[in-house]
Structure 1
């Protein structure tokens, strides 16, 4: 087993540049492996180890570097180039998003027995037909709020069946519902544009999933044993620790400054798309909506003045987000399942 001192270029590249080769890092393990949310999570004294601290420091360095680049003249040049290269997608992003959502819902209808995401199962046959009807409603802007109501109702049904802690994995669905409703009605949510709601819900979803990788790394071990190449030769423990950090910093970046969040969206899209080659149709269906949401973030050209305070505040905001999500995850688990 290689130590963290010798993580080398593959993992550094995953943290700092592209991570396309590590699609397994963000594969949703509940879709492919056995899991038990009621079991005791990994203790914080085990998670907050020296290796974790080094990885967090490295990810923070990458975030600060991105902020510094954006604050420089190079950042403005990169943003203009990104605006030009994504112009066509940006002008058609609503159509792309609706088409992706339709693919997602039709796929759920075709597979059957699923509530919004692969591991949420149901025996109620009409759920699949509701999802097909929602797909039809995506054809017209006027009926987008109907799809929004359908998503919220299905989310609520899954909540009664699987509980709040499990559904905390999927606030992105509520973000998608809000995006469709706001788009259909031509409104904002207290000044927040539809894409901003998507961006925040996607960020929260992925930050929560990151903590779960640290709390239950053993869920992914069978997967890494079947496909050892996915871990780049690192031990499963080291890889899952690093995978969580990669996911967390990219998720946090989605709520930061324009160039940083658009770069993070591009990296995350690359990771999710690459995972399809390893994990197949289930992964393609399950991640379709979040990829569409990330694409909307990538092409969003809303202007924003980046100031030096964004660079200075990055370490504090990142640290606060990390502490907050770890606290909520562990305290929430203790409250719901009453286990340490």
Structure 2
């Protein structure tokens, strides 16, 4: 266990500046300038993509061995005993996140300013979410869904894809105490993972925004050139999202990323708290739940070789698809 804790802390310390740029639009006012696709798909980018695909494929061979460690099994057992609190954590965590946002005059993200009427409706949603009954939860979630649709109509679908994990959260709350309850948390994994992947691509398509943050907030680049560092940072975040989608290393991943997001608060303060509070709640749920309820795509393939090939090729496919879609519509 000590080795795991040391490894987690080390990764957190090293990667903190990577995730510090999680939503670059929160911390810079410069106008976004789209990079050319030729510069995005540089030899360095392609090399990192292939390296990441290989590493992810190898993880499919190593993780089952780690799961057999005695201390890991003990840890899993203790966390599994907390699963009965997961839905309560999501419900009341969402309410607290909304309160922080409304007080700031925003909704869903620090840069999304809303009118007084929208704030009042959001307070109504919070009120229902705080009532300990599943019907009230559904009413509050339905109101929140309406607000998300309204704000999406104002800012555009592709802009709001950064915050699409809220749709997954709302979905989990809506299907509670119904026949679809078991699909709620898998949907939360998928929605959060894809949201992180989408946000990561922003750094490749609009690198000048990340560059401005590195300069103005004195983000350490560990000896790398800022442009190189930005490409690497985006890959780290994209990989985190992909790992959530395919169901690899979810509990450890949730712990590492939660520690990292907490550490970034020291760089960006209250804006970071408002923006990432809901992500913290979701990641804590991942730590508690693991993947016991989720049949991740990787499990569709039985042999280790098939799993390696699936993860390798699927990662490259998902990467290429999201980059091209973001470049065209983002």
CA 1:21 to 1:300, structure 2 compared with 1: closer, same or farther past 3 Å? same
Which residue does 1:94 correspond to in 2? Answer: 87
Which residue does 1:60 correspond to in 2? Answer: 53
Q: Partners in 2 of 1:148 and 1:245 — Cα distance?
A: 33
TM-score, with structure 2 as normaliser: 0.85
Deviations 1:17-37 (A, max 9, x none): 724443342331111112545
Secondary structure in 2 matching 1:230: coil
Q: Partners in 1 of 2:140 and 2:16 — Cα distance?
A: 30
Which residue does 1:238 correspond to in 2? Answer: 228
Aligned pairs for 1:1-340 (under 5 A) are 18-26=11-19, 27-36=22-31, 39=33, 41-72=34-65, 74-77=66-69, 80-112=73-105, 114-122=106-114, 124-139=115-130, 140=132, 141-183=134-176, 185-188=177-180, 193-257=183-247, 259-301=248-290, 302=292, 307=302, 308=304, 309-333=306-330
Q: Is the 8 A contact 2:204 2:231 kept in 1?
A: yes
Q: Is the 8 A contact 2:204 2:234 kept in 1?
A: yes
Secondary structure in 2 matching 1:231: coil
Q: CA deviation at 1:273?
A: 1.7
Q: CA deviation at 1:218?
A: 0.8
Gaps of 5+ in 1: 1-12, 334-340
Deviations 1:1-49 (A, max 9, x none): xxxxxxxxxxxx99xx724443342331111112545x4x211211111
Which residue does 1:5 correspond to in 2? Answer: none
Q: CA deviation at 1:171?
A: 1.0
Q: Is the 8 A contact 2:108 2:163 kept in 1?
A: no
Q: Is the 8 A contact 2:251 2:286 kept in 1?
A: yes
CA 1:136 to 1:267, structure 2 compared with 1: closer, same or farther past 3 Å? same
Measured on the aligned residues, the alpha-carbon RMSD in Å equals: 2.4
TM-score, with structure 1 as normaliser: 0.83
Q: Partners in 2 of 1:33 and 1:233 — Cα distance?
A: 23
Question: Would you say how many aligned residue pairs link Structure 1 and Structure 2?
Answer: 310
Q: Partners in 2 of 1:271 and 1:46 — Cα distance?
A: 29
Q: CA deviation at 1:240?
A: 0.9
Which residue does 1:10 correspond to in 2? Answer: none
